[in-house]
């Protein structure tokens, strides 16, 4: 019979996910015949997995035959003698054997509590250690190794490992190891946002209630657990208002913090803010890590709604004053800040794009020629574009733009640099108008004859932008459609300041989204098919302050724009988030129907399990079940199952959602 410790260790190994780089580093150090003594600082916000990584690294060391020791800063007396007494007898035995070739790995958890011993550890304790064979792993919330890194004698022996949230692939691996249903992975990812502790809370809640697919309190449980973990780190009450500002803003420096709070902030307080584990340094100040931002934003909004709104208004006023004083080159970053401040307001208006989703591993860059093949596929996956062209003409136009105006293409990428989405919007001037005229002269003629003052002007005089292509990877499962579109839309809107924005549409869902945020629609029949109801959507910010549009968006919260009729967009959002209580509670569909979200769910379930009501068809029911209710799969698998092409699937989905919306209205 094996000792219990063996079984516990095996279980931990089986459930451990990610951190391959750190594990490989330790294995490489252990494999060295004379490993140089090293000190590794492992840092990260509460619940990000520092302690779990320490345990795993000690397991690796033990498997390689190394000696190991564990010290917990919370239970260790904060004196040199207290630290020495916390070391196991095996450490003293290792030191007693002169020239012992077996390496020793010492893990110190919660090092924040032992910071008073830092000088003693560096100048006394470690000075008496051998220069080979000792690995000291130090885990703390804040980065407390800066003095070691600045010391010329220790710099080469010090390593820093900041830990961040899990990647989407690691989240899926974590959940699969805990027998989480594959079709609910995106739901769990949305709730936990890649945070290891939050994922563990979810997994444990499900283990205790395996029959409950999404208990009512899961979302609140995750938020409350993480918020408590983070906020208990704030020991100085003066820091809380500054953290509240950062829950709203993407970043802020000392000057911005003081202007938003309308009071002075000392250098000492600002430095203390920077040292919080969930606060990161940014190019222009400090900001919250993505996970902390999303959870603390929700917590602040629900905890103190009046203070939340007042602080938002103060932040908007400060940014708009910054806008007026800044050169045009800085307006793009300020626009991103303003859009981020209003992220929850966008969610109340439309569910087409999730403007509130933050993921540092998703970023937007310019076009790279290596993106070419993937870009063509993303465009094909999207379906109808602003200029309806034959496939070959569409590919040719994209190639011309990629060659002649690559700066017009914006690519959304994941942490591996893979393209997941793209947009292409051309500034309209004599050269680009001539290019578009080669491919669709009728559309160009309509633009030039419109009342929007679009001219064949010089490049430097261009002030109108026309969306040509949009693309989305419909096969990837790491992010939902609305999450990717949220990143795309925020990036695109940041370029709208002072220009005329144009996009030609036939898709009712996108039309509804743009109408809700201030675009105006005009007839624009460019395909020759009157059934498509093609329209040109226009947002004219020429001669208007970007802040006027932001304030318009804010005013929509209190508008009757929560339409009385149900749209396909409302239905898509509700079905996509079917198992997510928090999202459904706030859904426009539930608000429009004026009943609890559970009642809306029952109504939809009844509609999908009885003979179709006009205008719904049997095909509509099959498509909706296969897309939203059977095991969640990529679009190509759903299309394959229904024996249709992906393009046909998207068309059928649009029709089915529109028909269901009509019935629900």
550 pLDDT more than 90: no
Per the model's pLDDT, the better-predicted residue between 256 and 289 turns out to be 256
In angstroms, how far is CA 536 from the centroid of its own chain? 31
Range of weakest confidence among 26-30, 345-349, 503-507: 345-349
pLDDT in tens, 628-641: 887 667 777 888 88
Range of weakest confidence among 294-298, 357-361, 577-581: 357-361
- Are 569 and 514 in contact by the 8 Å Cβ rule? The answer is no
* Distance between CA atoms of residues 347 and 336, nearest Å: 16
Give me the mean pLDDT over the 496-501 stretch: 86
358 pLDDT more than 70: no
The owner of tokens 């304790």 is 125
43 pLDDT more than 80: yes
* Distance between CA atoms of residues 386 and 526, nearest Å: 9
Of 368, 231, 216, 204, the closest CA to residue 292 belongs to 231
- Are 134 and 66 in contact by the 8 Å Cβ rule? The answer is no
**Topology classification of domain 4-162:** Rossmann fold (3.40.50)
Sorted by where each begins, the domain ranges of the chain are 4-162, 168-229, 233-325, 363-557, 568-664
pLDDT at 375: 93
> CA 482, 484, 488 angle in degrees (round to 5)?
110
User: In percent, how much of the chain has pLDDT > 90?
Assistant: 16
Residue 244's alpha-carbon distances to 249, 291, 354, 592, 618, in angstroms, are 9, 15, 22, 32, 51
Fold equal for 4-162 and 363-557: no
Range of weakest confidence among 6-20, 45-59, 494-508: 6-20
User: In percent, how much of the chain has pLDDT > 70?
Assistant: 86
* Distance between CA atoms of residues 335 and 314, nearest Å: 16
pLDDT in tens, 226-262: 666 666 677 788 888 999 999 999 889 999 999 998 8
608 pLDDT more than 60: yes
pLDDT at 435: 94
Per the model's pLDDT, the better-predicted residue between 93 and 436 turns out to be 436
- Are 73 and 42 in contact by the 8 Å Cβ rule? The answer is no
Per DSSP, 101 falls in state: -
pLDDT at 215: 43
195 pLDDT more than 80: no
Q: Which range, 69-78, 173-182, 317-326, has the best average confidence (pLDDT)? A: 317-326
- Which residues have CB under 8 Å from 418's CB, separation 6+? 374
H or E element that contains 159:
strand 158-162
45 pLDDT more than 70: yes
Give me the mean pLDDT over the 412-419 stretch: 85
pLDDT at 414: 84
The owner of tokens 């007898």 is 89
**Topology classification of domain 363-557:** Aminopeptidase (3.40.630)
**Largest pairwise CA distance in the chain:** 90
* Distance between CA atoms of residues 269 and 274, nearest Å: 9
pLDDT at 5: 46
The owner of tokens 């199952």 is 641
Confidence band (pLDDT; 50, 70, 90) for 557?
A: low
Q: In the numeric block, which tokens belong to residue 368?
A: 């790279």
In angstroms, how far is CA 663 from the centroid of its own chain? 34
Residues 110-142: b if buried by 16+ CB within 10 A, e if exposed = bbbbbeebeeebbeeebeeeeeebbbbbbbbbb
Per DSSP, 341 falls in state: H
**From its phi and psi, is residue 194 left (phi > 0), alpha (psi between -120 and 50) or beta?**
left
The number of C-alpha atoms within 13 Å of 362 and in the hemisphere containing its C-beta is 21
Verdict on whether the full-model pTM lies above 0.75: no
């Amino acid at each position: 019979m094996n000792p219990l410790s063996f079984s516990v260790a095996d279980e931990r190994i089986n459930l451990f996910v990610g951190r391959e780089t750190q594990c490989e580093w330790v294995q490489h150090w252990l494999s060295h015949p004379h490993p140089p003594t090293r000190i590794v600082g492992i840092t990260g916000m509460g619940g990000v997995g520092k302690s779990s990584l320490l345990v795993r690294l000690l397991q690796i060391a033990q498997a390689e035959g190394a000696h190991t020791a564990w010290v917990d800063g919370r239970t260790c007396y904060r004196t040199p003698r207290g630290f020495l007494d916390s070391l196991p007898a095996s450490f003293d035995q290792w030191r007693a054997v002169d020239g012992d070739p077996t390496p020793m790995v010492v893990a110190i958890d919660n090092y924040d509590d032992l910071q008073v011993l830092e000088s003693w550890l560096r100048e006394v304790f470690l000075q008496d250690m051998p220069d080979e064979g000792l690995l000291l792993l130090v885990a703390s919330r804040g980065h407390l190794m800066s003095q070691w890194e600045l010391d010329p004698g220790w710099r080469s022996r010090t390593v820093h490992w900041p830990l961040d949230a899990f990647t989407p692939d690691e989240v899926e691996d974590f959940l699969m190891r805990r027998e989480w249903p594959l079709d609910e992975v995106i739901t769990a990812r949305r709730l936990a946002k890649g945070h290891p502790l939050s994922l563990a809370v979810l997994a444990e809640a499900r283990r205790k209630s395996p029959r409950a697919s999404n208990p009512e309190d899961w979302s609140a449980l995750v938020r409350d657990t993480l918020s408590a973990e983070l906020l208990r780190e704030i020991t100085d009450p003066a820091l809380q208002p500054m953290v509240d500002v950062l829950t709203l803003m993407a970043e802020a420096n000392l000057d911005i913090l003081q202007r938003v709070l309308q009071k002075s902030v000392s250098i000492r307080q600002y430095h203390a803010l920077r040292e919080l584990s969930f606060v990161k340094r940014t190019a222009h100040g400090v900001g919250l890590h993505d996970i902390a931002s999303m959870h603390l934003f929700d917590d602040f909004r629900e905890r103190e709604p009046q203070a939340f709104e007042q602080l938002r208004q103060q932040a908007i006023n400060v940014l708009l004053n910054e806008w007026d004083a800044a050169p045009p080159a800085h307006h793009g970053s300020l626009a991103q800040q303003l859009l981020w401040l209003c992220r929850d307001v966008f969610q109340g208006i439309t569910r087409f794009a999730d403007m509130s989703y933050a993921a540092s591993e998703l970023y937007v860059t310019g076009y790279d020629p290596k993106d070419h093949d993937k870009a063509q596929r993303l465009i094909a996956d999207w379906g109808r574009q602003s200029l309806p062209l034959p496939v070959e003409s569409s590919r040719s136009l994209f190639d011309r733009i990629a060659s002649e105006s690559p700066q017009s293409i914006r690519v959304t990428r994941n942490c591996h640099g893979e393209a997941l989405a793209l947009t292409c919007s051309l500034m309209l001037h004599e050269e680009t108008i001539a290019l578009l005229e080669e491919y669709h002269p009728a559309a160009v003629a309509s633009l030039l004859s419109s009342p929007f003052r679009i001219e064949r002007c010089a490049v430097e005089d261009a002030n109108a932008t026309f969306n040509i292509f949009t693309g989305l990877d419909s096969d990837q499962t790491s992010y939902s459609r609305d999450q990717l579109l949220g990143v795309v839309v925020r990036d695109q809107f940041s370029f709208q300041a002072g220009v005329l924005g144009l996009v030609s549409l036939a898709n009712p869902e996108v039309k509804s989204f743009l109408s809700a945020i201030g675009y105006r629609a005009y007839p624009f029949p460019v395909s020759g098919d009157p059934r498509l109801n093609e329209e040109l959507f226009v947002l004219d910010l020429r001669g208007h302050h970007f802040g006027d549009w932001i304030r318009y968006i804010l005013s929509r919260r209190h508008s009757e724009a929560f339409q009385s009729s149900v749209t396909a967009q409302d239905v898509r959002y509700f079905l996509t988030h079917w198992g997510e209580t928090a999202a459904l509670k706030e859904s426009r569909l539930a608000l429009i129907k004026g009943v609890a979200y559970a009642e809306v769910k029952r109504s939809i379930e009844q509609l999908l399990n009885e003979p179709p009501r006009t205008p719904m068809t049997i095909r509509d029911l099959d498509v909706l079940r296969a897309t939203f209710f059977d095991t969640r799969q990529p679009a190509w698998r759903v299309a394959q199952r229904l024996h249709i092409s992906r393009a046909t699937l998207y068309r059928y989905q649009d029709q089915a959602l529109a028909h269901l919306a009509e019935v629900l209205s």
